[in-house]
Every structure is written in structure tokens, then in C-alpha cells.
């Protein structure tokens, strides 16, 4: 039985996927039973990153892990999310290790704050850290006074973090004020990080025996327990990308306008409402510029007005400009690495003009113009009286056909003209015809 169990264990180890750089997972009864929880953050820092790190800390505490290791590779992110993450890290009694990896990785901007806030900061070879300017963290153009306030706050914030973790506060301030970035060897020499590790195994060997928050880390033979992002975290991180939020904006507009112009289609309306709800969720979590939404709303008004006003494309052009500027402003408060590129904005604007200039305009006109087919299209037209029409009987000719007719008011004599009021079965109700003012164009 022991032989069979051993063979099964070997098969599991050989065929189970093992994340690159991770130690081989062995049964806990063969070592001390110690574990470390590992999470991986790659890309921009946002609200879902905060949730992921919070869940990682909670999981590490539940597992009674030796430490939470955060593998980090980020160009930066939102200042608000960074503040939340740093505050949670500084208050944590669970040892937190930030490991900037893989080779060629970067702890830029917001990543610098997060790395400095760790109990142990480590970097892999050929990685960089720094460039923590608040311009690239906060996004958007600020006036001189506001920019100075943001710089002053960011400098004091990162200085306090560095002092709390006994790291180089002067360099930390220069990373904000001058946008300075350094390599891993320079970071180690300047006391910005604690060590350089070639991989995760090397990291665990080097931090073994260190005292953090009153406990001695035992990580050299600890079992690595990765914690991946949940489906919800991946999904909401995906929809909070600016290009996806732009697509959601367009789907919401297309769906809702499509349902209004084609009642009963259901699918466009449902898709539009779902997109709108997701867009509102993303807007609540991200620093969306309200002026951008207002300009997009103005563009929709101009597009719809064009359907009823013969302005020969003037309103359509104004709507296109308003939509383009609105979409551009919508994400201007995002960090630089999260702002929307023009190759997204230009096609989106063209599609919006095509949609409202062709599809939506035809549907809107159809909903608000009179009937063009059937008996309803004849209401308001004039007809020739064949036999005298009173409240009880009479006959009129409509489009070459004889119809029984009655009138609600005075009697109408034969050979006079009447106006069609309504149809009830095979009887038409008419009234005396009053010629409307007409404009005649003739030669001078």
C-alpha cells in the first residue's frame, strides 16, 4: 500500500502544473507543516487589486501562513487604491513580502509605494523601481497650485512609509519629486529594498529566520500555496479598463436607443441596460470625469435633434465633436498608463456617427412620423362626397373606392370635399374640408 501511495504521489507531482519559480509542493507531514501564501499582481493598480490583496491577507491569516508574498510587476495605478493598499499593509500583523519579479519587471509609480510598505522588500535581477511621480499616478492635467499640493502630499506619504519600514526616506522623496528610478542593485545599496532574489525559492531561503512582527519566519522548507485572482476580480478588473468602459458606453447607448426606435426587440434593451449597470459600477470605482459624461449626453441630444431638424449635418458634426471630446475627457483623470489612445477614440466616434446618422435616425423618424400604410395613412386626407353625408348615412369616394360615410357635425352636400376623421369597420367618419394654407411656387 505504501508503494502504491508513493507512486500516486510521484504521478501527482510530475503531471500537476507547477508555477514557474515555485518550490516543489511536498506533503506537509514531510516538513514542518509551514506554508506561505503567494499572490501575483501584474498590470495597473486599481480597486480590484485592493480587493485581491485584502483577500490574500485574510487567506494567509486563515491558513496561519508564515508570510504573504506579493509578486509584483506594475507600471503604476490609481493613487486612491494605492493609499488603501499601503494602509492595510502597514496595519498588518501578517508578515508581508513584496517581490518585484520577473526579470525585466518594474515597481513603477504606485508599485514603489507598495514595495516600500512591505515588511520585506525584494527584487529579482534586472528589475527596476521608482518613477513615483504623482502626475503619472493621479492622471489628468492639474493647475500649478493643485499639482503642488499633490506633490507635497505624495512626498510626505512616501517619506512616512519609508521611515515606518526603516528604508531610505530621502531616495523615496526623490522618486516622487524627481521621478527617479533605479535598478535592483542600486536599490539594495541605497537601502530601498532588503535583498535580491533570483527566484521564489531563493527568496524563501533568504528570508528564513528573520524576525517580523514578533515571529521568526520559517520559510526555507515551507509549502507554497498560490492564491489566484477570483473570477469576479478578473471580470471587474477587465471591465474597468478604459477601452472596455468606452465599449460599454457605446453598447449602453446603442442598446437603449435601439430599443426605443424598435420597441419589442428586447435584446438591444436588455444588453443596453446591462452595459449601463456595469458602466455605472466602473464609474463609481474609478475616477471618471463627469464633464466627459455630460459631453457624451450632449452628443446624443444633437444626434437625435438632427433626425428632426434639416440642418444638413451641422448638428451631426457637432455631436461627433462632442462625443470625441467627451470620450477623451472621460478617462483623463486615469493614470497615464491607463488613459485611452486615439486609435480607440477615432473609430468609436465614426461608429457613433454612422449609428445615429443612419440606423437610429431612420428608427426615430419612423416612431414619430405619421402612418404611411393602411387606413391610418388616410386620416386627415380629403375625399369627394358622392351622396349627401349626414349623421346617419352618406357616401364618399376614397382612392377610387366608395365608402359609407357619416359626419359628426353639419351635413355635407354631394360633390363637395370632406376630410377623413376616422374609420370604424366599413364606415368612415368625415367632417367638412377646410383648405389649409398652401404655398405655391410659380414663375415670375
For domain 375-432, the question of CATH label 3.40.630.10 is answered with: no
pLDDT digits (tens, 9 = 90+) for 124-136: 999 999 887 765 4
Residue 4 exposed, middle or buried by CB count within 10 Å (0-12, 13-18, 19+): exposed
Query: Where residue 283 falls among pLDDT bands split at 50, 70, 90?
Result: confident
Identify which of 11, 12, 19, 149 has the alpha carbon closest to the alpha carbon of residue 79: 149
Task: For residue 183, report the phi and psi dihedrals to the nearest 5 degrees.
Answer: -85, 175
Query: Where residue 339 falls among pLDDT bands split at 50, 70, 90?
Result: low
CB 335 within 8 A of CB 139: yes
Q: What is the mean pLDDT of residues 194-208?
A: 93
Of the spans 135-149, 255-269, 369-383, which averages the highest pLDDT?
Answer: 255-269
pLDDT of amino acid 378: 75
* Distance separating alpha carbons of residues 314 and 302, to the nearest angstrom: 9
pLDDT over 50 at 440, yes or no: no
Which of 158-162, 272-276, 390-394, 440-444 is least confident? 440-444
Identify which of 217, 219, 187, 185 has the alpha carbon closest to the alpha carbon of residue 202: 219
* Distance separating alpha carbons of residues 122 and 115, to the nearest angstrom: 8
Which of 89-93, 180-184, 204-208, 409-413 is least confident? 409-413
The residues facing 431 across adjacent strands are: 419
CA 3 to chain centre: 54
Max CA distance (Å), the chain = 114
pLDDT over 50 at 214, yes or no: yes
The answer for residues whose C-beta is within 8 angstroms of residue 250's C-beta and 6 or more apart is: 348, 351, 352
pLDDT of amino acid 333: 65
CB atoms within 10 A of CB 442: 4
Domain positions in the chain are: 19-229, 240-368, 375-432
pTM, two decimals, is: 0.68
Common-topology check for domains 19-229 and 375-432: no
pLDDT digits (tens, 9 = 90+) for 15-44: 343 333 343 343 433 345 889 999 999 988
For the chain, the straight-line distance linking the first and the last C-alpha, in angstroms and rounded, comes to 114
Query: Where residue 116 falls among pLDDT bands split at 50, 70, 90?
Result: very high
Mean pLDDT score across all residues of the chain: 80
Find the radius of gyration of the CA atoms of the chain: 35
- Domain 19-229: assigned CATH number: 3.90.226.10
Query: Where residue 3 falls among pLDDT bands split at 50, 70, 90?
Result: very low
pLDDT over 50 at 219, yes or no: yes
Of the spans 23-32, 114-123, 238-247, 328-337, which averages the highest pLDDT?
Answer: 114-123
pLDDT of amino acid 425: 80
Amino acid at each position: 500500500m505504501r508503494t502504491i501511495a508513493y507512486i500516486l504521489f510521484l504521478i501527482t507531482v510530475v503531471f500537476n502544473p507547477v508555477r514557474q519559480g515555485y518550490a516543489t509542493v511536498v506533503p506537509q507531514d514531510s516538513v514542518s507543516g509551514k506554508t506561505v501564501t503567494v499572490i501575483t499582481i501584474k498590470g495597473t493598480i486599481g480597486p480590484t487589486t485592493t480587493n485581491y490583496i485584502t483577500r490574500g491577507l485574510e487567506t494567509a491569516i486563515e491558513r496561519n501562513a508564515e508570510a504573504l508574498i506579493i509578486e509584483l510587476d506594475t507600471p503604476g495605478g490609481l493613487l486612491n487604491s494605492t493609499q488603501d493598499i499601503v494602509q492595510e499593509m502597514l496595519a498588518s500583523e501578517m508578515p508581508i513580502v513584496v517581490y518585484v519579479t520577473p526579470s525585466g519587471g518594474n515597481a513603477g509609480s504606485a508599485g514603489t509605494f507598495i514595495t516600500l510598505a512591505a515588511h520585506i522588500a525584494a527584487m529579482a535581477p534586472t528589475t527596476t523601481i521608482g518613477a513615483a511621480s504623482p502626475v503619472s499616478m493621479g492622471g489628468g492635467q492639474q493647475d500649478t497650485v493643485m499639482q503642488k499640493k499633490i506633490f507635497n502630499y505624495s512626498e510626505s506619504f512616501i517619506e512616512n512609509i519609508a521611515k515606518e519600514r526603516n528604508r531610505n526616506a530621502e531616495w523615496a522623496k526623490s522618486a516622487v519629486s524627481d521621478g527617479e528610478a533605479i535598478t535592483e542593485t542600486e536599490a539594495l545599496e541605497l537601502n530601498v529594498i532588503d535583498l535580491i532574489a533570483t527566484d521564489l525559492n531563493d527568496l524563501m531561503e533568504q528570508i528564513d529566520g528573520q524576525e517580523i512582527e514578533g515571529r521568526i519566519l520559517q520559510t526555507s522548507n515551507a509549502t507554497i500555496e498560490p492564491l489566484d485572482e477570483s473570477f469576479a476580480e478578473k471580470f471587474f478588473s477587465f471591465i474597468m479598463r478604459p477601452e472596455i468602459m468606452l465599449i460599454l458606453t457605446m453598447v449602453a447607448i446603442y442598446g437603449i436607443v435601439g430599443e426605443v426606435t424598435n420597441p419589442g426587440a428586447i435584446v438591444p434593451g436588455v444588453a443596453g441596460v446591462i452595459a449601463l449597470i456595469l458602466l455605472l459600477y466602473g464609474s463609481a470605482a474609478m475616477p471618471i470625469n463627469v464633464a466627459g459624461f455630460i459631453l457624451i449626453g450632449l452628443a446624443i441630444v444633437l444626434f437625435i435633434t438632427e433626425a428632426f431638424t434639416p440642418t444638413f449635418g451641422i448638428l451631426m458634426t457637432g455631436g461627433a465633436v462632442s462625443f470625441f471630446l467627451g470620450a477623451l475627457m472621460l478617462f483623463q483623470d486615469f493614470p497615464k498608463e491607463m488613459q485611452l489612445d486615439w486609435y480607440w477614440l477615432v473609430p468609436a466616434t465614426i461608429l457613433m456617427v454612422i449609428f445615429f446618422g443612419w440606423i437610429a435616425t431612420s428608427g426615430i423618424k419612423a416612431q414619430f412620423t405619421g402612418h404611411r400604410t393602411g387606413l391610418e395613412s388616410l386620416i386627415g386626407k380629403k375625399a369627394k362626397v358622392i351622396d349627401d353625408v349626414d349623421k346617419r348615412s352618406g357616401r364618399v369616394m376614397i382612392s377610387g373606392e366608395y365608402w359609407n360615410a357619416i359626419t359628426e357635425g353639419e351635413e355635407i352636400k354631394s360633390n363637395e370635399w370632406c376630410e377623413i376623421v376616422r374609420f370604424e369597420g366599413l364606415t368612415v367618419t368625415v367632417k367638412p374640408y377646410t383648405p389649409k394654407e398652401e404655398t405655391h411656387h410659380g414663375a415670375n
